Structure 1
Amino acid sequence: MSNRIVITTDYLHPGDTVDTMLREHGLEPLYSPAGRARGSEERLALFSEAVGAIAASEPITREMLAAAPRLKVIARAGVGYDNVDIDAARELGIRVCNTPGVNHHAVAEMALALMLACARRLGEVFAGVAEGGWPREAGTELRGKTLGVIGYGPSGRAIAALGSALGMRVLVSTAHPDSDSAQSAGIEFADFDTTIGSADYLTLHSRAGRNDPVIVAETFAAMKNSAVLINTARGSLVDEEALLSALNSGAIAGAGLDVLQQEPIVADNLLRTMDNVVITSHLAGQTVEARERAGVAAAQAVIDVLDAKTPKGTVV
């Protein structure tokens, strides 16, 4: 019987902790890093001989799963799993797991970094200094501003706490309020409309849904024209055409984006040319510490499923 575990997560390598864990359990890691285009034949063959996978964020389709008769488990070394065809996995009896709670502090810190970059116009400053200039434009402070948080999972809680610690008013829109923990931190719960209409910085920490984007033209119209959108969650949460229109019209003041609808960013994405937009390369959860935790948790999920145990972070 095959004992192959296909690893597409590009920061996992032979000889690391995850590799050792799997081999000590009698499994055979096979590395095929994501980040490059795969032809259709390669995609279909990717998991064909595997019993398990530790997967990056590239799409895993019904066709790929159907071509993998031995596959028992896919573990995402991260929180998001919208790249996996969950319905197909369920129908085919393939367990899908994620690794919640491993990178929420890293994500929250990146959201804060993007807020500061927008507030202090650091993109323009870095570019100006690199070109030999010495830009001295005034930025703004975060203290006293209103932080709107959409979603109150681990990263939403973490950024809400950081915002409160910086002296921001924090409004949270969530279907799962936790008033007891929030009151001591000075965090308020509000409905979606109140949150987006009040926020100076609106930061997204909700799961990607199966429906249309959460942040659309009507959302931008309801926001302050001085507001900044921060997205470290999923590119699919934001209608990028509506965002571009809102930035061009002055409906909002700026955006800090770690995720996009199409990644890596394409050359004709006009967001990359705008002075009031800061874009990073989907690395909010990519700290040394978070990667270690995510890799180990994903490996443990694979081992648990193959040992007929229920892993943490089970999606289906």
Structure 2
Amino acid sequence: MRLTVLTPSFGKLSEAPVRRAAELGLELEHRTESHPKSGQDLVEAIAGAEAVLVGLDSVTAEMLAVCPDLRVIAKHGAGVDNIDLQAAAAAGVIVVNTPGANAGSVADLTLGLMLMGSRRIREAEDSLRSGRWEVFFGTELAGRQLGILGFGRIGRAVAQRAAAFGMRIAAYDPFVPDEAIVGAGAQPLSLEEAVATSDFLSLHLPGGGGPLLTADLLATMPRGAALINAARGGLVDETALAEALHAGRLSFAALDAFSSEPPAADHPLLDAPRLIATPHIGAYSDVANANMGTWAVEDVVRVLSGEEPRFPVR
């Protein structure tokens, strides 16, 4: 059994995935010379492969049509918006992912970004390093409402951490029953209510289908509110967000994801004030790296052995 690994983050911070592959008799072929791959580069990398592990690589119907030996696609992470699931199903290719493997990692980063923005940590450090000693007044989290859009594993992990800071938690998720949201200690709200009433708004939904936070919806955020996006850049109208920052309507925005990655040098957000930006590092922790790689390897072996995978994407 052989697995073609496309993402360079596989086993980057932990040897556990490689050890597990060896224990299961799974041979690893690393094709990580460029990432993400798409089109002909992707086809050439996985030609003849039965199993492939992808990161942000673009798996299209056209690619699947010329890879008849492919049996399983494993996503090194949870989001599968870069995989044409309908085409994979039509081709008889099983898709698996690793839901929850990086929940703690992304939740930690989300809280870190909230604290960085609310306490103006980067501004304070820049001031000190430039030889000044200035006072920067910030905002405490306790008593503020955190609106979480997307209340799956990551959203709930964020809620647990934020509750420890004394925040009031509100949540919107069209796929989670209200009683489950209440049971997790959050107030269920509609999308419009959550956006219009939250002091901090954090996104944890999958991408695809255009911006969730349109210009009109962004305009309803309370003046001085903050936006944190550690999910997918396409969830936000980025031009409208840049305009909101330039106009001073938001206290800050913290983004770990952009609609196009890396963003172009002339991206409207990159020169916006009060922007904190990180290069999609949410899943890059030791524990998440071990979990994602190990769980993916185990499910690949299950599929290639004719067994039901633990985490199939339906």
1:225-264 maps to which residues of 2 (within 5 A)? 225-264=223-262
1:117-266 maps to which residues of 2 (within 5 A)? 117-175=116-174, 176-177=176-177, 179=179, 182-183=182-183, 185=185, 187-209=186-208, 211-266=209-264
What displacement does 1:246 show? Answer: 1.8
Amino acid at match of 1:310: E
Amino acid at match of 1:282: H
8 Å contact from structure 2 (residues 198, 222) kept in 1: yes
What displacement does 1:80 show? Answer: 0.6
Q: Which residue of 1 aligns with 2:66?
A: 67
Q: Flag the 1:245–1:129 CA change in 2: closer, same or farther, 3 A.
A: same
Q: Give me the whole-angstrom Cα distance separating, in 2, the residues matched to 1:204 and 1:163.
A: 14
The two structures have a TM-score, normalised by structure 1, of 0.91
Q: Give me the whole-angstrom Cα distance separating, in 1, the residues matched to 2:231 and 2:11.
A: 26
Q: What are the superposed Cα offsets for residues 165-197 of structure 1, whole Å, 9 maximum, x if unpaired?
A: 211111111221353673573x21111111111
Unaligned regions of 5+ residues in structure 1, if any?
Answer: none
The two structures have a TM-score, normalised by structure 2, of 0.92
Identify which range, 173-182 or 237-246, moves more after superposition. Answer: 173-182
What displacement does 1:23 show? Answer: 3.7
Q: Give me the whole-angstrom Cα distance separating, in 2, the residues matched to 1:110 and 1:39.
A: 28
Q: Secondary structure at the match of 2:276?
A: strand
Identify which range, 231-240 or 40-49, moves more after superposition. Answer: 40-49
Q: Which residue of 2 aligns with 1:32?
A: 31
Identify which range, 119-128 or 191-200, moves more after superposition. Answer: 119-128
What displacement does 1:92 show? Answer: 1.0
1:13-24 maps to which residues of 2 (within 5 A)? 13=11, 16-24=15-23
Q: Give me the whole-angstrom Cα distance separating, in 1, the residues matched to 2:64 and 2:123.
A: 45
Moved over 4 A (4+): 34-40
What displacement does 1:114 show? Answer: 0.8
Aligned length: 312
Q: Which of 270, 273, 297 matches 1:272? A: 270
Q: Give me the whole-angstrom Cα distance separating, in 2, the residues matched to 1:307 and 1:37.
A: 28
What displacement does 1:155 show? Answer: 0.8
Q: Secondary structure at the match of 1:197?
A: helix
Q: Give me the whole-angstrom Cα distance separating, in 2, the residues matched to 1:7 and 1:70.
A: 16
Amino acid at match of 1:81: V
Q: Give me the whole-angstrom Cα distance separating, in 1, the residues matched to 2:180 and 2:86.
A: 36
Q: Give me the whole-angstrom Cα distance separating, in 1, the residues matched to 2:238 and 2:33.
A: 24
What displacement does 1:239 show? Answer: 1.4
What displacement does 1:110 show? Answer: 0.9
Amino acid at match of 1:290: A
Q: What are the superposed Cα offsets for residues 61-113 of structure 1, whole Å, 9 maximum, x if unpaired?
A: 22222221111111111111111121221111111111011111111111111
Q: Which residue of 2 aligns with 1:116?
A: 115
What displacement does 1:213 show? Answer: 1.1
Q: Give me the whole-angstrom Cα distance separating, in 2, the residues matched to 1:10 and 1:38.
A: 11
Amino acid at match of 1:104: A
